[in-house]
Amino acid sequence: MILDLKKLKLRSVNEKLQNIDRKKNKRDFVISNPEGNHAVCAGLTDNIDVIIKGHVGYYCAGMNQNANITVEGNVGTGVAENMMSGKVHVKGNASQSAGATGHGGILIIDGDTSSRCGISMKGIDIIVKGSVGHMSAFMAQSGNLVVFGDAGEALGDSLYETNIYVKGKVKSLGADCEEKKMDKHHKTKLKELLKKAGSNIKPEQFKRYGSARKLYNFNIDNVSNY
């Protein structure tokens, strides 16, 4: 089914996708002429496939559950923000805070992302085939951030238990973030993530970064890091 945002209001399109008639078994949708609209496909909860034909604005696919959403263009701030499950695939670039506070599911971005990619992520897997901006994975709590390109300043600042895998160069690490050993468990997990992204890159080409665990509890000796 084609949903044309030149003919339909965004609210009605989102409401239709949020309230699928399971008796009709319609599971494939195409949104045409998104023209930078904000909050396209926000709050979806059903196992449906949605293709967005063009660029979108802020908070596309926010709070997604179960849906498989593909954006054939670029996205604005906060794509897949607070995502719970499902899959969001951006075939272009993403602005800041991609995957912010995501609890689950997978976000794949074919291009680059701006600052704070994966900020406060809580279990989501984020794969960026380009590079990420400064302060990516800031206060990230769990999940995995995989970067094929480079990472900007202060990567993983105030990190908890998220694993960060970077193939390219890291400009600088944030407070309490350090390079970690890539053991068999992490190579296996990374291989699974790369497969989901349709990549044949070897896990051995990446470096892993994680928390040094010095900021879990306040310690006066570490006050300069806070």
**Structural domain range at position 177:** 2-225
pLDDT score recorded for residue 23: 74
- Predicted TM-score (pTM) of the model is 0.94
CATH number of the domain where residue 88 is located: 2.160.20.60
Q: Which residue has the tokens 């989102």?
A: 14
CA 108/CA 22 separation, integer angstroms: 28
pLDDT score recorded for residue 214: 83
pLDDT score recorded for residue 36: 96
186: which DSSP letter? H
Sequence-ordered alpha helix ranges (H) in 114-199? 184-196
pLDDT score recorded for residue 220: 66
Query: At residue 90, what are phi and psi to the nearest 5 degrees?
Result: -100, 120
Q: Which residues of the chain have pLDDT under 70?
A: 216-220, 222-226
Give which of 110, 96, 203, 199 is closest to 152, Cα–Cα. 96
pLDDT score recorded for residue 22: 75
pLDDT score recorded for residue 222: 64
Pairing of strands 207-211, 177-180: antiparallel
pLDDT score recorded for residue 202: 96
Number of domains in the chain: 1
Q: Could you tell me what percentage of the chain is helix, strand and coil, using 3-state DSSP and rounding each to the nearest 5? A: 15, 25, 60
